[in-house]
Amino acid sequence: MNVEVHNILGFRHIPKECINYISKYMTTQYKADVRRATEEAMVFLNKNIQHSSDNLDAWIFDVDDTLLSTVPYYENNNACGEEMPVLLETWMKEAKAPAVEYMVELFHKIKGRGFKILLISSRKEHLTGVTIDNLMKAGYYGWDQLKLRCPADDNYSIKEYKAKQRKKFKEEGYRLCGNIGDQWSSLNGDHYAIRSFKLPNPMYYEA
């Protein structure tokens, strides 16, 4: 919490004093919290959204720790609160990230309702191929657009970059009915969706 409200600055890896707390949470409560978020997303869809006839209703998903889990990476490389011996990008290139539990089901339920699926990731653009490969291996397919950061996006914070992508989607005519991500930077900012859903992530924080 103190990281998310900026009481702790320069957060780069899990502090040693937090390891036990995070480990306990990830092995006990985490899955239940993800499941509750997906249930609430479906309640929102069932009660509040009526499809338009132009087929431009859309739902945004983040990628890392929303669709694909980096938990195995942090388990293997950050268990002691030290600097990671293997770069996250190197691990991503292996395209072995598993799906976040319950998210494949939610993804396909929303897609099955006729929503356009728009993916926005803070990954670098040169990881597009391995990201597509990993998503499909994990059970995700049939999305409409996948946005990764190009070199010009390095001038923006993650929050600004994702807001910029949402603006582009709106300019293309999409109605952003929902947005789900594990970081506030994926949800906050301009051009937000009608409803946003935050997944838990105690492992890192992206502003």
pLDDT, position 176: 96
pLDDT, position 189: 83
The answer to pTM > 0.85 is: yes
pLDDT, position 52: 79
pLDDT, position 4: 57
Low-confidence ranges of the chain (pLDDT < 50): 80, 85
pLDDT, position 49: 72
pLDDT, position 16: 73
Please write down the HEC assignment for all residues of 156-202. CCHHHHHHHHHHHHHHCCCEEEEEEECCHHHHCCCCCCCEEEECCCC
Residue ranges of domains in the chain = 16-198
- At the topology level, CATH places domain 16-198 in Rossmann fold (3.40.50)
pLDDT, position 76: 81
Q: Report the mean per-residue pLDDT for the chain.
A: 89
pLDDT, position 12: 59
pLDDT, position 26: 87
